Every structure is written in C-alpha cells, then in structure tokens.
C-alpha cells in the first residue's frame, strides 16, 4: 500500500515537472516569436526609411523635384527630406555664385590681358593678386610690388613711397601718383615712360587696389618730333627769308646801281625763293603722305626710261663739276605699276644729292635692274663722294637731318631723303636704304614691287 502511494506520488511529480517544462518552452517560444515580430517590424520600418531617404537623396542630387509628395511619407522622413532640400538649394546657390564669380574673373582677366598698358592688382600689403602681360617687365617673378627686384625694375622709389602713403591714408580712389615710371625696353629701344594712377577697387580698409600705368613714350616722342619739326622748319624758312629781305633792303635803299650786280642779286633772290618753294612743297607732300591723303596715280612705269630722263636733265650741272654721270640699265623689262611722277622725284632727289656731294672730277652711276627672287625693280645711285659716317647713316632719312660736316658743301632743306622714304615705303610698299664708306662714296638704292597693286590708290 505504501509502495503504491509512493509510486503514485512519483508519477505525479514527473507529470508536474513535465507540465512545467512544457510551459516554460511555450513561454520561451512565445517570447521568441514576439521578439522576431518586433525585430521584423523594426527592420521593415528601417528599410522603408532607408529606401525613402535613398530615393529622396538620389532625386535631389539629380535636380528632380517631382518627389514633392512628402505627405505620404513618415514624418521623420518628411523632415529629413526638407533638410536635404534646403541643403541642396544652398549648394546650388553657392555653385551658381562660384560659377558667376569665375566667369567674371575670366572676363576681367581677358580684358586685362588685352590692354597694352601695364595693370597690376595688389592688396594692402603690396602682394600682387593679378597682373597682365604688359606688366610682366615691371613685376617679373616677384609676388610683391615692394620687393627689391620690383623696385629696381620700376626705377622710381617715389612711386613706392606714394603707394605706401596712400595705403596708410586709406583713400586711393583715382589717386594720380606724381611720378613717371621709366624702365628699359625689352627691345633695347630706349626707356619707356609711364604715368601711374591708383584705384581702390572695393573701398575696404584692407581691400584690393588697381595700379594702371599709361604708356607716355609714344606721346613724348611725338611731342619731341613736333618740337624738332617746328624748330628746324622755322630755321630753314628763316635763312632764305633773311637773305631775300637783305637783298630787298639794298634795292630799296638804292645801294645797287650796277646792272650786273643787280642781276646777281636778283638771281640770288630767285634761288632763295626756289629753296623756300621746295621746302614748303616737300613739307606739304610729307604731311599728305603721312596723313594718308595723297593718292598715287598708278600706271605702268618704266624706271629705266625715268633714269635716262633724270640723268639727261642733271647732266649740265654735273658737267660744270666735271663729274661723269651715266646710266646702267638692264635689257630686261624694267616696268612697275606706280606713280611715275613720284618715282621720278625720288630718283631725281637721289641723283642730284650724289652730284651735289661728289667732289669735282668724280663719278655718279644710276643703275636699274630686276631682282627675280624678290620680284622687284631695284634702282641705285652710286657716287665716289665723301661717304657718310655710320652714326649719321642711321639718321640720314630723318626729317631735317643733314650730315653736320657736309652742310657747308651745298644748300638743302633736309627733307628730300625723308620724302623719298615716304614715297617708296608708304606709297609704293617698297624699300629704301644706303650703303656707304667714308672716303670711298655712297650707294643709295630703292626697290619697288613689280606687281604693286596700289594699296593707297583711290
């Protein structure tokens, strides 16, 4: 009996244990299912948010604003989308501003590079921000206009001091610096002169400044040439006028009674009058050519025939000095298209000068030939005169220039050779030059293209 009860109790305990175990397992299973469901929901929500955000970012970056239906999205996603849109809008504005600024800078740089005058942009510390090609000789490789190398190239310590003073005063707008900058030209053609002007680009205390240097070299050269022209022209006009006046005073005062002496005075006055007329005519012709208002009369011109005509006309004067004057012309055609009157004037000026400055018993030869390679007709006038020194040879075609040591040998205006150069080079697009040896003689020559089309023809 007792054994039966013990056996029953043991069976009950086992049953209770089995029931408890199943209960725990059931609870655990339910917990796991719940956790899985919660995890699935969270993961699904996360995937939905991630997908939405990814789509929004992708469309925003591509500039597609068609995804504006954010009401159907989760509130968190909607707020995130709005933030993304705001950031993207600011990014686009900043990008557009940068592009516009870059375009303006490119335009400014292009304008600066196109300027012939040096332009330098620098800050309040003198650091160079930008400069154009014309300013390169000024700043070189220096990063500051106050560097020693830049100061040396500027050649004007006053300029730097005035810039420093202006920066300290803080008012640089339109300030004209009382200094002319002079520095050697790269082509060794002498120093170039600039007028300096400074501008404040933004008006800030420590802003950006613009230094503009206007090239005055050409203006100064033109001014000098004008002054020289007026001075020399006045001198050339005064001399024959004074001579004519003196002779007229003698006649008015009845101080000349001898007919032979009176005839000599009249001939001198006539010679001075011709000199005045030639001077005025040459000045007018040079001015017309330089102004581009003298139009050549183009026609087929035989330079060989012109040479023979000029030599024939000047032979009497050459014979008086026992000078041999001859023509050497090629047998080939020596015809060019040009103004026969102007070309005859050139050849007569060169030949008469050769006769004038060749000592008695000398020789002058006028040669005319063709240059097949250059397709030109070349005319040269060679003499056995005194020759021209090298230092004078470089200026022999300048206005009013005469070789100082030869001025007493013959009268002249100093405009004949300059007129020749203008007729040959400016009117006929040709070339003119001189070869000479002191004590042996000179050879003046000019060439005219055979096929000259008359760029200045009316």
pLDDT digits (tens, 9 = 90+) for 275-330: 788 778 877 888 788 777 778 888 899 999 999 999 999 998 899 999 999 999 87
| Contact predicate 384/440, CB 8 Å | yes
Radius of gyration of the chain (CA): 49
Q: What is the pLDDT of residue 31?
A: 61
pLDDT, mean of residues 258-271: 84
Strand pairing category for 441-449 and 431-437: antiparallel
Domain end position, chosen among 262, 291, 320:
291
Residue 340 confidence (pLDDT) above 70: yes
Q: What is the pLDDT of residue 399?
A: 80
Domain end position, chosen among 161, 191, 215:
215
* pLDDT (tens digit per residue) in 29-46: 666 665 655 555 555 555
pLDDT, mean of residues 21-31: 59
| Contact predicate 56/81, CB 8 Å | yes
> Do 409 and 370 share a structural domain?
yes
CATH, residue 314? 3.30.565.10
> Do 392 and 271 share a structural domain?
no
pLDDT, mean of residues 370-380: 90
* pLDDT (tens digit per residue) in 202-235: 654 456 778 888 878 778 777 877 777 777 777 7
Q: What is the pLDDT of residue 81?
A: 67
> Do 250 and 362 share a structural domain?
no
Task: Please check whether residue 26 lies inside any domain of the structure.
Answer: no
Task: Please check whether residue 393 lies inside any domain of the structure.
Answer: yes
| Residue 432 β-bridge partners | 446
Query: Which tokens hold the place of 252?
Result: 């008015």
Q: Which helix (H) or strand (E) holds 307?
A: helix 303-320
> Do 249 and 181 share a structural domain?
no
Give the chain's domain count: 3
Task: Please check whether residue 270 lies inside any domain of the structure.
Answer: yes
> Do 440 and 323 share a structural domain?
yes
> Do 386 and 335 share a structural domain?
yes
Task: Please check whether residue 305 lies inside any domain of the structure.
Answer: yes
> Do 427 and 318 share a structural domain?
yes
Q: Which residue has the higher pLDDT, 1 or 119?
A: 119
Domain end position, chosen among 261, 291, 321:
291
CATH, residue 166? 3.30.450.20
> Do 254 and 389 share a structural domain?
no
Compute the mean pLDDT over every residue in the chain, rounded to the nearest whole number: 75
Q: What is the pLDDT of residue 46?
A: 56
What pTM value is reported for the model?
A: 0.53
> Do 329 and 280 share a structural domain?
no
Report the C-alpha gap between 208 and 128 in whole angstroms. Answer: 10
Nearest CA-CA partner of 349 in 428, 415, 302: 415
Task: Please check whether residue 22 lies inside any domain of the structure.
Answer: no
Helix (H, G, I), strand (E, B) or coil at 10: helix
Task: Please check whether residue 67 lies inside any domain of the structure.
Answer: no
DSSP 8-state code for residue 397: T
> Do 318 and 384 share a structural domain?
yes
Strand pairing category for 324-329 and 363-371: parallel
At 450, give phi and psi (nearest 5°).
-65, -40
Confidence band for 458, pLDDT divided at 50, 70 and 90: very low
Q: What is the pLDDT of residue 213?
A: 82
> Do 249 and 197 share a structural domain?
no
> Do 438 and 307 share a structural domain?
yes
CA distances from 428 to 100, 109, 335, 415, 420 (A): 52, 41, 14, 19, 11
Q: Domain span at residue 283?
A: 221-291
Lowest mean pLDDT among 54-58, 342-346, 406-410: 54-58
| Contact predicate 329/337, CB 8 Å | no
Task: Please check whether residue 79 lies inside any domain of the structure.
Answer: no
Report the C-alpha gap between 50 and 3 in whole angstroms. Answer: 69
């Amino acid at each position: 009996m007792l054994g039966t009860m013990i056996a029953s109790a043991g069976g009950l305990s086992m049953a209770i244990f089995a029931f408890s175990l199943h209960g725990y397992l059931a609870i655990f299973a339910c917990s796991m299912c719940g956790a899985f469901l919660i995890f699935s929901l969270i993961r699904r929500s996360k995937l939905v948010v991630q997908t939405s955000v990814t789509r929004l970012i992708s469309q925003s970056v591509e500039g597609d604003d068609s995804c504006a239906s954010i009401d159907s999205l989760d509130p968190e996603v909607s707020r995130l989308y709005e933030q993304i849109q705001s950031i993207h809008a600011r990014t686009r504005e900043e990008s557009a501003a940068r592009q516009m600024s870059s375009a303006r800078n490119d335009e400014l740089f292009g304008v600066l590079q196109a300027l012939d005058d040096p332009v330098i942009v620098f800050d309040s510390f003198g650091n160079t921000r930008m400069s154009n090609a014309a300013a390169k000789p000024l700043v070189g490789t220096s990063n500051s206009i106050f560097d020693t190398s830049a100061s040396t190239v500027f050649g004007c310590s006053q300029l730097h001091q005035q810039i420093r003073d202006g920066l300290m005063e803080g008012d640089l707008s339109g300030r004209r610096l009382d200094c002319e900058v002079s520095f050697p030209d790269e082509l060794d053609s002498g120093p170039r002169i600039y007028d300096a002007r400074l501008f404040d680009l933004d008006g800030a205390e420590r802003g950006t400044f613009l230094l503009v240097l206007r090239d005055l070299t050409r203006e100064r050269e033109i001014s000098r040439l004008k002054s020289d022209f007026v001075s020399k022209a006045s001198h050339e006009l005064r001399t024959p006028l004074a001579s004519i006046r003196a002779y007229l005073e003698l006649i008015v005062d009845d101080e000349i009674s001898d007919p032979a002496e009176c005839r000599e005075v009249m001939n001198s006055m006539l010679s001075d009058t011709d000199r005045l007329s030639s001077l005025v005519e040459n000045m007018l012709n040079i001015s017309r050519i330089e102004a581009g208002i003298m139009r050549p009369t183009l026609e087929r011109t035989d330079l060989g025939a012109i040479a023979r005509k000029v030599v024939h006309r000047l032979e009497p004067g050459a014979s008086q000095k026992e000078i041999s004057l001859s023509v050497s012309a090629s047998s080939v055609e020596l015809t060019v298209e040009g103004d026969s009157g102007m070309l005859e004037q050139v050849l007569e000026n060169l030949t008469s000068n050769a006769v004038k400055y060749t000592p008695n018993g000398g020789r002058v030869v006028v040669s005319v030939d063709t240059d097949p390679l250059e397709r030109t007709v070349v005319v040269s006038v060679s003499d056995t005169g005194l020759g021209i020194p090298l230092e004078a040879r470089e200026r022999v075609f300048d206005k009013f220039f005469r070789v100082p040591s030869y001025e007493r040998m013959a009268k002249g205006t100093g405009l004949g050779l300059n007129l020749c150069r203008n007729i040959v080079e400016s009117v006929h697009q040709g070339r003119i030059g001189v070869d000479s040896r002191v004590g042996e003689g000179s050879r003046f020559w000019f060439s005219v293209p055979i096929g000259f089309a008359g760029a200045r023809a009316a």
